[in-house]
Amino acid sequence: MIVIDGEENVQQWFKDRCWAFSANKTLNTERDAPITSCAKRVYVPSSTEEVSDLVRSLPVSTPIATVGGGCDAANVATYADEQAVVLDMCQMKSIQVDTDKMEITVGPGVRFQALAEAVRDAKGALPIGTGPGVGVIGYVLNGGLSGYFSRRLGLLGQRVKCLEMITAQGAIQQLSPEENGDIFISMLGAGSALGIVTSMTFSMAEETVVQCGGQIVVSCGNISVAQTFVKDVAPFMKDRIFGEEEIGVSMELVVTADATAIVTFVFYDWFQFGDQELFVNPIRDAATNLGLPIVVDSVTKWNSWFDIASSLWPIISELKGEILVTLQHCCGTDGVPTQEVINFLCEWWIGKSPLGLAPMSIIEIRTLGGVIRTGRPIPTGICNQDLFFNLIVLYDADGILQEERNKITEQVSAVLVEAKKIGTLNIDFGGTQIQADDPGEPISGPSIFGTEAAYQTVLSHKAQVDPNNRFRFHPFASILPVR
């Protein structure tokens, strides 16, 4: 097992393993103050047995932080604390495919790019996220979603067949819905608080469930025009996407900091409206009516699940900075959004967010529901959302004055204050879509885990399997106290 210790070595490890740093860590600090881990030592195991042996060898009071992909917006596990032992799972990257069963098993160091390539080779499909460097297992354990595929394939956590975990006592356990129903389900939305997962097996769909996809890209020129464009296409989303009973298409609308609107469609095998090109004409009409140029028009360009799954990798790979920092929040609706929600989305979420101050930021507006609703219930608020929209604030803090950093954060806070005034709007649900280190009002257990009953079940399992709270470095720390 590799061991990283010494302040300089740990600081370099932290810098290498974090895709971006929490913007909250850059507030009210000296500009040149280092952002680094509090941990004194990092272990890099290469097998389940090494993880088990290490956990058994430590005092039962020693906290343990587990790092998978390193893409958590709050860097909770990579920051850790001085008493913690950090486990970096990056070496455990095994992928095994059973083509007869259409199942794929991955280790905790596997990221989405490697998973997507293996699924492609197996002629399968899974509802994965768009970031190639995001850790697969951590994404599932914290309730991740797929904007492109979840309406047809459900959440990735809903496709888990079984998993292997290390308990707080160091025991190796195999979990499945047949043998360990309740705790198995809790792992699929709160797992980072309950144990160390060392493998996970997914049931793949056939690649043919995804027919094609592509984008219409509209240059809006400024955010005010982008607000109008989104408001004009909202009726199409409400009537044609949410109104389709068989969930044959998904739609995602991204607004970038330079006021570009990117409308992405994914067509599934259940699509029954004939010609895909004709189906999306209302989007073209909305741009034409506003006199806006359509700079890309290729809604059927992507011809396979893998084409769609990998479509954003080149763009994401260019998001870099000396001190790349982020803030992330989300909203959603249980059912078709009301006009009040659409107005808030356009006027506040798009219009008042600090897109101009944070030039790599984006707003994503997604259609969910569908198979997420009808699939196996798991403890994440994502299961309750039909319309979903998030704000990913992203900027290079190097060279930005403290006053500007504070202003960015203040604008985000002001938008969230307004969001809480909308009675039909759900805010900050699911561990992959929240800023867990935000000060002030805590996140809500029933919102994060979907229902009060699910929250109480997770609380019970936490007290049962981790009574000493060894696994405390996760997005849910503020709502999972040990009783």
Estimate to the nearest angstrom the gap between the alpha carbon of 106 and the chain centroid: 18
Q: What was the pLDDT predicted at 315?
A: 86
Q: What was the pLDDT predicted at 308?
A: 96
Q: What was the pLDDT predicted at 69?
A: 78
Q: Judging by beta carbons within 10 Å of its beta carbon (0-12, 13-18, 19+), is residue 179 exposed, middle or buried?
A: exposed
Low-confidence ranges of the chain (pLDDT < 70): 28-34, 244-246, 440-441, 482-483
pTM score, whole prediction = 0.94
Contact 452, 368 (CB under 8 A): no
Using DSSP, state whether 162 is helix, strand or coil: strand
Contact 418, 56 (CB under 8 A): no
Residues, the chain: 483
Q: What was the pLDDT predicted at 85?
A: 94
Measured distance CA(98)–CA(7) in Å, rounded: 43
Single-letter amino acid code for the residue at 220:
C
